Structure 1
Amino acid sequence: MTLIVGMANDDIGFLVGETMLTPLLLIKGNPIGPVNGEFHGLKIQIINGDSAIAFASSNAVDVALRVIAAVSEEILKNPSTDIFQKTKEFYLAQFLAPNEKPDCEFLVLKLAGERKRLAHITASELKFVERAYIGDQKQMAKLNDLRQPYVGAKEAHVQQPDGSFKIEPVEDSAGQIEFMEISFALERLVERRGREGVGAIAGNIIRVANARLSGQLEYLQTVMAGISLEEGAIGYSLLASNREKRGVGIYYIAGKLGFVMIVGDTEMCRKVRAETLDEFKTMARESWGLDLI
């Protein structure tokens, strides 16, 4: 299963997706047992603060990664590069390779001031859209079935400089509400896979959106916590590195292990043993330059 959903209008720009690499599962078989990072990867890659590329592929994850890497390099050299045309151009160039018929599609999200644009790119077309998904059509139908109305907080307690708190009203925009509804629906969808022997990492999803404070595209963090009679403290923290070197880190407290997924990395997912969350963050910083928060 691959499913990534995107939206872009004057209100919001976002991409939400999961991490399962279905082609690897089909090749190597379903890995029953503990968490296995080998079969997961970062399918939504933030190129810079205003550009992100998501991919889906049934047979050519390596091709999609080469395309994203090439586009990233072009943008690094020339920030004014047309990311939409370059993604299409580099993807079509892959068809020139002998014996290669890649089946990839991309969602490209671009912020340009107040304007946000989303393109759906395949070998045959480049189409600008407000909403789109890539990946498994049946899974998208299931996601729509699992989607529920989102009712957010009506007020926020905002701490003032003197230490006191002020109650301020909160009003979510239509785009923010849609973002939350899709995020929670995808969470419900992928959590079902955890019962199918693909590991606890299957329950994580990756959210990218234009952040309220910075106005730039950022990976959003997630924390899940609980208590198990068998293991004691359980749950995970999904940490994000949104400056300089971009990527995410997922740390599981009960297993004392984590996974690192880095934008532009040649490896889709790196498994790390760490006794604590702080140790995991230190290892990610020293080994790969990620500032996980």
Structure 2
Amino acid sequence: MTLVVGYAGTDNCFMVGDTLLSHEHFALKGDVGPVNGEFHSLKIQILTSELAIGLAGNFDAAYSAVAALKLAISADPTLHPTEWLASKNILDADFLVLKNGAKKELFVIESGNVRQAVNGHIGDPEEWNRFLQLKKDYNGASERHTIDENGKVVRSNPVTSGEKEFAVVSDAMEALCWDCVGRKEPTVGAISGCVVRIVDARISGQLEYLQAVEASHFPWEPSGGFTVLASNEPERGIGIYFRVGQRGFILSVGAQPPCVASTAETLKAFVDEARSNFGMKLTGGGWGEAF
């Protein structure tokens, strides 16, 4: 199963989701499978700078439909994505359609039925209830600051209600994925808690995958940590790379297979692999290594 949560307000819009795919190992022995990319996917697909699709349910059917929608939009940019998906009548797959145009809109397609929402979700109803239990009140900063090259604050803006909701949903989704670790038959999860986040970016105003980077906090593992890199042009998707074990995963929009494991020995080699094999321009944080 899956859990993808979306929001479309007047100030911003976003989606946050997990990456775990349910599979036959669950029924056989309660095994989530090796972390080799086989059981994870990009369940939030940014098709254009103004359109993203979240998917749940029958993954193969939903993923194929989104890939076909991408091609259809390339041929006819005026196509209405919500109507197009609903017309396919895929009853065992659900979708979130996020539009970031002059007006921010979120549509939920469940069992072929369409409704518009400010807050919406698709996926496992039990995990949704657990998500709500883990969701906490916002406790971050009340303002965000723009700083020039000299470190001087040139502009301050209050954190909006939508930005607060994004932080709250992101934290709850991470907590849910970690909460699923060790369960016999988890239906929601992410590699090292690396949930997928997309948002209308502050600078570009376009839908983008977000980056994250973590360094080791433990003296016995000084070279640990991972980085989530994002490609928002020309081919969209994310890459996750771990310093320990020199292991990475590439999740590209519409790719087959949906997640590819990498054994690149350096972060730079990982970025080069994503560019040469998938046309992705991964950017993000590292550990002092130029790439």
What TM-score, normalized by structure 1, do the two folds share?
0.88
- Tell me if 1:224 matches 2:214: yes
Q: 1:110 aligns with which of 99, 109, 121?
A: 99
Letter in 2 for 1:173: T
Q: Does 1:274 align with 2:264?
A: yes
- 5+ residue gaps in structure 1? 95-101
Structure 1 position 167, deviation (Å): 5.6
Q: Does residue 56 in structure 1 map to residue 90 in structure 2? A: no
Alignment of 1:224-263 (within 5 A): 224-228=214-218, 231-263=221-253
Q: After superposition, what is the alpha-carbon deviation per residue over 1:71-90, rounded to whole angstroms, capped at 9, x for unaligned?
A: 11111111111011011123
Determine if contact 1:55/1:107 at 8 Å carries over to the other structure.
Answer: yes
CA contact (8 A) 1:51 1:217 kept: yes
Instruction: Write out aligned runs for 1:148-227 (5 A).
Output: 148-153=136-141, 154=143, 156=145, 158-160=147-149, 163=150, 165-166=152-153, 168-196=155-183, 201-227=191-217
The root-mean-square deviation of aligned C-alpha atoms, in Å, is 2.2
Pair 1:9–1:200, CA change in 2 (3 A): closer
Contact persistence 1:25–1:39 (CA under 8 A): no
Distance 2:108 2:144 in 1: 37
Letter of the structure 2 residue corresponding to residue 177 of structure 1: K
Quick one: structure 1 residues 228 and 275, their matched pair in 2 at CA, closer, same or farther if it must change by over 3 Å?
farther
Structure 1 residue 28, shift from structure 2 partner: 6.5
Partner of 2:289: none
Indicate the residue corresponding to 1:129 in structure 2.
117
Taking the aligned partners of 1:229 and 1:24, their CA distance within structure 2 comes to 39
**Alignment equivalent of 1:68, drawn from 39, 48, 66:** 66
**How big is each residue's C-alpha offset from its partner over 1:178-235, in whole Å with a ceiling of 9 and x where there is no partner?**
1110100111110233445999715110001111111111001111221445543222
Out of 108, 123, 127, the position equivalent to 1:120 is 108
Inter-partner Cα distance in structure 2 for 1:142 and 1:7 = 19
Q: How far off is 1:29 after superposition?
A: 4.9
> Against the structure 1 CA distance between its residues 279 and 194, is the aligned structure 2 distance closer, same or farther, given a 3 Å change threshold?
farther
Residue in 2 aligned with 1:7?
A: 7
C-alpha spacing 1:120/1:182, structure 2 compared with 1 (3 Å): same
Aligned partners of 1:151 and 1:167: how far apart in 2?
A: 24
**Preserved CA contact (<8 Å) 2:247 2:261:** yes
Contact residue 237 and residue 252 of structure 1 kept, 8 A: yes
Distance 2:33 2:5 in 1: 29
Is residue 19–residue 202 contact of structure 1 (8 Å, CA) maintained in 2?
Answer: no
Judge conservation of contact 1:220–1:240 (CA < 8 Å) in 2.
yes
Q: CA deviation at 1:11?
A: 1.5
Relative to structure 1, is the Cα distance of residues 4 and 32 closer, same or farther in structure 2, using a 3 angstrom cutoff? closer
2:133 aligns to what?
Answer: 145
Secondary structure of the structure 1 residue equivalent to 2:54: strand
Distance 1:29 1:269, change over 3 A: farther
How many residues are treated as equivalent by the alignment?
Answer: 279
Mark the CA change 1:4 to 1:166 in structure 2 (over 3 Å): closer, same or farther: same
Farther-moved stretch of structure 1 (1-10 vs 41-50): 1-10
Letter paired with 1:78: D
Instruction: Name the CA distance, whole Å, in 2 between partners of 1:11 and 1:200.
Output: 28
More helix by share: 1
Q: Aligned AA for 1:183?
A: S
Unaligned 5+ segments in structure 2 are: 284-291
* Matching residue's letter, 1:148: K
Separation in structure 2 between the aligned mates of residue 70 and residue 40 of structure 1, nearest angstrom = 21
Is contact 2:54-2:96 (8 Å) kept?
yes
1:178 alignment partner AA: E
Whole-angstrom CA distance in 2 between matches of 1:80 and 1:146: 40
Partner of 2:43: 43
Q: TM-score, normalised by structure 2?
A: 0.88
Tell me, what secondary structure is at the counterpart of 2:111?
A: coil
* Contact 1:194–1:202 (8 Å) recurs in 2: no
SS for the counterpart of 1:255 is: coil
What secondary structure is seen at the aligned counterpart in 2 of 1:84? helix
